Amino acid sequence: MDLFEHQAKRLLAGYGITTPIGETARNADQAGQAARRLGASTFVVKAQILAGDRKKAGGIRFASTPTEVEKAAQQLIGSRLVTSQTGAVAVPVEAVHIEEMVRIAQNLYLAITLDKSTGQIVMLASNRGGEEIESRAGSNEVVIERIPLTIEGPRLSGDFEGLAARIVSDDRLRMGLVNTMRNLAGAFIGLDATQIELNPLAITPDSEIIALDAKMTIDDNALFRRPDLDKLRAASKSPFDPTELEAQRYQINYMLLDGDIGCAVNGAGLALATHDLLVDAGGRPANFMDIRTTATSLDIAHGFSLILKNPAVKSIYVNVHGGGMQRCDTIAEGIGIAMRRSGRRIPLVIHMAGNNAAFAATVLKNNGVAYFAAGDMADGARHAVTSAKKEAA
């Protein structure tokens, strides 16, 4: 779950990370009122979208008066931004965050993330923070230092002193940076994060260390034990993808695509392989769906109904490999419930293998589900594509 900047900053402040004083507004009037309460001489008005590089796209504005803040907010809210991180898709701006502008002596970069190549938690830092650090990191202009972090009980430990010494030379700043590093490590563990990035992490002329921007990703699989964070899920989702949000509530990872073949698969890797088979056969998947191992038959029914509700879907391909935690018959029962509730007649292709696959066929029959039983994955993909083309003709 990705968080908006204002959400991440609020959480980080609870772990001792200093952030600018600010307020979030959803219309120009609220923005003006927020500016008057802040009472600053200069304001920063920041579009709240789940993407970086906002300044170059016009998503960060500066203002000297509350009236100017209102004008900036009016221009941003309801607009759409395209940045280097959004791709070609314009992202809608639903809110802005207003802060007092901070005087900057130096910009740093600080982050904690998972190294996918080693599976290790690492802390990254640089004495050159700010815009486009990723593109500059490959040159001699920016050097990103890194240290591995170790989980010790409820804490993350690492050579924070050594890393800070490579970033700043002043003793007072080094002590402050070490404290920020420790607090960031505490937030990473305490919030079940998979990534936290402070960029820029500013040093002021008074030697304060302030996180001017923050990005945070929370592990979706940990939200069951963090209802306080789960409440942020709805606020962190764009209103333009309600089906994805609904699916998450039912232990389903779902993403709408632009094809006409609905897909229901257990396992992200198997889902991607299924998509490849469909494309190779001349088809286009209408969605990505990964049924989690924790999903019940009712959860699966809710997830499958999302496919059935999509009018673009001309056929559905279910590709399931039952394992120890998710049996084929559980998925079959969920499909049966969804088909009965929907009443929609649509070509359905099912390939099931593994735990209780034979019993799953009986469950489908008892639920009155009409389907084509594929002999293997590729056979199922070909039949789903053929069926979709017939329906579209």
User: Active-site positions?
Assistant: 109, 197
- Amino acid identity at 231: K
Asked if 307 and 316 count as a contact pair (C-beta separation under 8 A), the reply is yes
- Amino acid identity at 72: A
Q: What are phi and psi of 376, to 5 degrees?
A: -150, 180
Kindly report the number of other CB atoms within 10 A of residue 56's CB atom.
12
Q: How far is CA 157 from the centre of its chain?
A: 26
Cα-based angle 330, 332, 334 (whole degrees, multiple of 5)? 70
- Amino acid identity at 284: R
Q: What are phi and psi of 157, to 5 degrees?
A: -120, 155
Q: Choose among 221, 350, 377: nearest CA to 293.
A: 221
Element (H, E) at 338: helix 328-342
Cα Rg of the chain, angstroms: 25
Token representation of residue 194: 């998979």
Whether cis (ω within 30° of 0) applies to the bond prior to 347 is no
Q: Please, which residues have CB within 8 angstroms of residue 136's CB and are 6 or more apart in sequence?
A: 128, 142
For the chain, helix, strand, coil in percent to 5 are 40, 25, 35
Token representation of residue 9: 């900053």
Q: Choose among 353, 356, 308: nearest CA to 335.
A: 308
As separate numbers, helices (DSSP H) first and strands (DSSP E) second, the chain gives 13, 21
Token representation of residue 180: 């920020």
- Tokens 């489908």 -> residue: 364
CA distance 160 to 149: 9
CA distance 360 to 337: 13
